[in-house]
Structure 1
Amino acid sequence: MERKSIDAGKSGRKPSGAAVIRPELTTTLFKALFEEWAETGYAAISLERVAARAGAGKAAIYRRWPSKVEFACDAIQVVCLGLPDLGDCCSLRKELDAFLRKTRVVLRHPMIRKIILDAAAERDRTPELSAVLDAVVAARRRFGNGMLDRAIARNELQPDLDRELALDLLVSSIYMRMILRRKNVSIAELDKQAVVIESAIKAC
């Protein structure tokens, strides 16, 4: 996401007196930000260190974002709002299996584990960060609602199910195991979770 992209024109030459915002450097800056965040926590992030990690000057950050919080919010939106399209897997169980496997891949990353916990702790202190995290959660729940809609259309679920509870159930067990308890989850355990979650959702 480029908040202040500058068009260099078809020739590719820099406009006179202006710096060109390079997308590849923006991506590198996002990666450096997340590395710093995982090591220090959000409150202690140093933009000087982030720039140094990216092999750039601090001005490269301020050409793109006026503050640390806007930098962090853009990074979260770019990385977290893109959701894989599972499509119709023909049954709720298969969709749950696919969803849990993709979630497991994300939560196994040690950097992501640290950032998730720190971001949750930071929500009450940083309203702007809280707003973008709310947007990420809302996007995840829309994705989950798609799964529920397809299951209802296949007559696997009742139309009047408690959706809020069902959506909570989709991620609660894997989040508890991998983030709060810091345990790995095997594929066999994921399969068991899918069975239990399906049964629980059907009881909603």
Structure 2
Amino acid sequence: MLRATSALIEERGLRAMTTDDIAGRSGVSKATIYKWWPNKYAVAVDAFLSAMDMASTDPDTGLAHNDFQIVLRGIMEFYRGPGGRTFAQLIGEAQNDSAIATELRNHLMQTRRDIGRTIWDRGVARGELRPDIDREIAVDLVFGPALYRLLTTDAALDDAAADAIVDAAMRGLSAM
């Protein structure tokens, strides 16, 4: 059902897709859908999260700079594809639907932030990163520009941009 939902979002867009479409494409009844999800947006969030989870890991290369680069490159690669368009649509819907906002925050944004926190904590423990900087702000500095680029600009979401963002952030965050 989640693959069918992802395909429908890509083909028709989030707003145009209906619960009937999901049921028809996936071969399940609307009752089954509503048993597990309150609306099509909740199904879309789960479909998006299942795809995003495949794109996110903690690389642990031994250097915080490299770890942040790898993770940000993965995020930007995902944003360049259909998932990025879906995510932008979900962010838009979340402005008017607190359930979508909560799902995105709890099941997507926090998992990405958890990876960033882990990288940060390892870097501080190894003496690479400044312990006097608030961890949440540091994670914002590294990952925030990708989301900003996705939602508000037509700036590149490629490896070179990811590397430049991490390089710039690390200049201010590095302990050395």
Q: What TM-score results when the alignment is normalised by the length of structure 1?
A: 0.70
Tell me what 1:129 maps to: 100
**Which amino acid counterpart does residue 121 of structure 1 have in structure 2?**
G
Unpaired stretches in structure 1, ≥5 consecutive residues:
1-28
How far does residue 169 in structure 1 lie from its aligned partner after superposition?
0.9
Q: Would the aligned equivalents of 2:59 and 2:71 in 1 still touch at CA under 8 Å?
A: yes
Gap change, CA 1:137 and 1:185, over 3 Å in 2: closer
- Aligned alpha-carbon RMSD (Å): 2.5
Query: Does 2:76 match 1:104?
Result: yes
Tell me what 1:30 maps to: 2
Higher helix fraction: Structure 1 or Structure 2? 2
Q: What TM-score results when the alignment is normalised by the length of structure 2?
A: 0.80
Identify the structure with bigger relative contact order (alpha carbons < 8 Å, sequence gap 6+). 2
Tell me what 2:32 maps to: 63
Identity %: 21
How far does residue 179 in structure 1 lie from its aligned partner after superposition?
4.2
Aligned partner (choices 119, 122, 125) of residue 90 of structure 2: 119
Unpaired stretches in structure 2, ≥5 consecutive residues:
none
Query: Does 2:129 match 1:151?
Result: no
Gap change, CA 1:52 and 1:131, over 3 Å in 2: same
Gap change, CA 1:86 and 1:46, over 3 Å in 2: same
How far does residue 64 in structure 1 lie from its aligned partner after superposition?
4.5
Q: How many pairs are equivalent?
A: 170
**Which amino acid counterpart does residue 50 of structure 1 have in structure 2?**
I
CA distance in 1, matches of 2:100, 2:170: 33
CA distance in 2, matches of 1:130, 1:190: 26
Q: Would the aligned equivalents of 1:65 and 1:71 in 2 still touch at CA under 8 Å?
A: no
**Which amino acid counterpart does residue 119 of structure 1 have in structure 2?**
L
CA distance in 2, matches of 1:182, 1:122: 20
Gap change, CA 1:189 and 1:134, over 3 Å in 2: closer
Query: Does 2:14 match 1:45?
Result: no
Gap change, CA 1:122 and 1:162, over 3 Å in 2: same
Cα shift readout 1:39-86 (whole Å, capped 9, x = no counterpart): 5544432122223334x25x1x53254332443343344334563131
**Which amino acid counterpart does residue 88 of structure 2 have in structure 1?**
L
Larger Rg: 1
Q: Would the aligned equivalents of 1:30 and 1:75 in 2 still touch at CA under 8 Å?
A: yes
